[in-house]
Structure 1
Amino acid sequence: MSDTAPDAAPELIDRLRLIEEQPLDMRAQAFAALHDELARRLESAPSDPSASRP
Structure 2
Amino acid sequence: MQPEPSSADTTTVDATSDEEAAAELAARLRSIESLPLDQRATAFGAVHDELRTALEGVGTGEADVSSGGR
Same fold (TM over 0.5): yes
Where does 1:1-54 land on structure 2 (aligned, <5 Å)? Answer: 5-44=18-57
TM-score for both structures, normalised by structure 2: 0.56
TM-score for both structures, normalised by structure 1: 0.71
1:13-41, Cα deviation, whole Å (9 max, x unpaired):
01001100100000000000000000000
Q: Structure 2: give runs of 5+ residues left out of the alignment.
A: 3-13, 59-70
Structure of greater relative contact order (alpha carbons < 8 Å, 6+ residues apart)? 1
- Structure (1 or 2) with the larger CA radius of gyration: 2
Amino acid at match of 1:5: D
**TM-fit CA distance, 1:5:** 1.6
**TM-fit CA distance, 1:7:** 1.2
Q: Calculate percent identity across the aligned residue pairs.
A: 55
Poorly superposed stretches of 4+, deviation over 4 Å = none
